[in-house]
Amino acid sequence: MLPFYIMTIIGAIGVLGILGALLAVLRRRMGPRIERKAFLTRAEIEVLEYLRRVLPGHHVSCQVSMGALLKPQRGLSRKEFWRTRNRFGQKIVDFVVIDPDTGSVEAVVELDDASHDAENDRARDALLALGQYRVIRIPSRPRPTESIVREATASLRA
């Protein structure tokens, strides 16, 4: 027979194991750990300010879901509807320039920073083109200035 203190240690290890398993189950049920993130980067804040300055007759919205800009065509089967919707529903565009009188989107403006990939950008541009949106891309290098943003958006003031 084992000494009492060894039996106590084995029992304590068993209890700790059970408590650990229960804690793991509770964590899974509580859901993922979530934390707050920055809504805009410093560069996006600057470009937003430049857009608002150089396009005073327009509204500019930021971090807009492509699901607010595009929808699957009518008449698709349920499966094809969701397959199409899933191609763009979770994607976000940096800025949307809106005509304040009509509420129509004049252009989508993307700040091409380190998070952008040329191949993915072409695919996103193609999706937006299907919705007949004009996409204006502003490179993040060199750091955009008001004059760079003014030049990139000149067609919206014409």
List, edge to edge, every strand of the sheet that includes 105-112. 59-65, 92-98, 105-112, 135-139
Determine the pLDDT at residue 2.
Answer: 66
The enclosing H or E element of 135 equals strand 135-139
Under 8 Å CB-to-CB from 63, ≥6 apart: which residues?
39, 40, 92, 93, 94
> What tens digit of pLDDT does each residue of 25-74 get?
777 777 778 898 999 999 999 999 999 999 999 999 999 999 999 999 99
**CA dihedral over 107, 108, 114, 118, signed as positive or negative:** negative
- Which class is domain 42-157? alpha beta
Q: Is the pLDDT of residue 1 over 70?
A: no
pTM for the whole structure: 0.75
Domains of the chain by residue range: 1-35, 42-157
Q: Is the pLDDT of residue 113 over 90?
A: no
